Amino acid sequence: MTISMTDYFRDRKSDRKKETRYINVINKDNCTSCNSCANVCPVDCIYEVVSPVPSESYHQIDTSRCIGCQMCYRSPNDSSEFYQLTICPWNAIDMLHNPNSKPDDVSVLLPYYRGSSTDLPWPKLEEYGYQLFLDGEVFLPASEKALHRVFQLFQEQSWMYSEEDNVQIVQTEVEEGNGYVRYRATEEGRELLDCMYQGWKRVFMD
């Protein structure tokens, strides 16, 4: 079932109890808001970002609630080694190996950080960084303080853009709505994310 962003975050349920092997992300540039993914999601973690122009609406996935069941990506019972029955007619969904479940020894983001903070939550930074890489924005529930601390790291002017310059990946100004906060990447941040995620090995079945 499709639910608007405002209604979703107003009534949002809590995060899943444990990390899952996979998480899904929707590329909003490919999404036509056709509802195919939302109609099959068993945990209702897919919501619609509604635009005044209907053709510009699109869907997003709340990855902290996604259980990685693959149902919005493909139909497991109707797929085989030789054929995949995909759900999204526009190929707008990426399924990822969840970096929080089995993180790499060295994060793909680590070489680009030049700040003073230590013990950074690299798997969470990778998870949300990939969404910023695809869409340039992320919606978070306003009540999840730990997730907002992750984005504070993205807002530090501590990410290596060139040998001489550091940049912020995420804008300091945020949009606050009814139960949600919308973070947007900076122009330089998106260019840097293009470098970070080039050849990233965590995209599954793509």
Summarize pLDDT for 170-185 with one digit per residue, the tens.
Answer: 999 999 999 999 999 9
Query: Which band of pLDDT confidence, cut at 50, 70 and 90, is reported for residue 31?
Result: very high
In 3D space, the residue among 200, 182, 196 whose CA is nearest the CA of residue 109 turns out to be: 196
Alpha helices in the chain (DSSP H): 5-10, 36-40, 122-135, 145-155, 187-196
Query: Which band of pLDDT confidence, cut at 50, 70 and 90, is reported for residue 107?
Result: very high
* Encoded tokens for 6: 């405002």
In 3D space, the residue among 169, 175, 174 whose CA is nearest the CA of residue 129 turns out to be: 169
Task: Return the bridge partners of 60, or none.
Answer: 47
Contacts of 167 (CB under 8 A, 6+ apart): 157, 159, 161, 186, 188, 189, 192
> Over the stretch 133-156, which tens digit does the pLDDT of each residue have?
999 999 999 999 999 999 999 999
pTM for this structure? 0.93
* 142 contacts 179 by C-beta, under 8 angstroms: yes
Tell me which residue has tokens 């973070």.
183
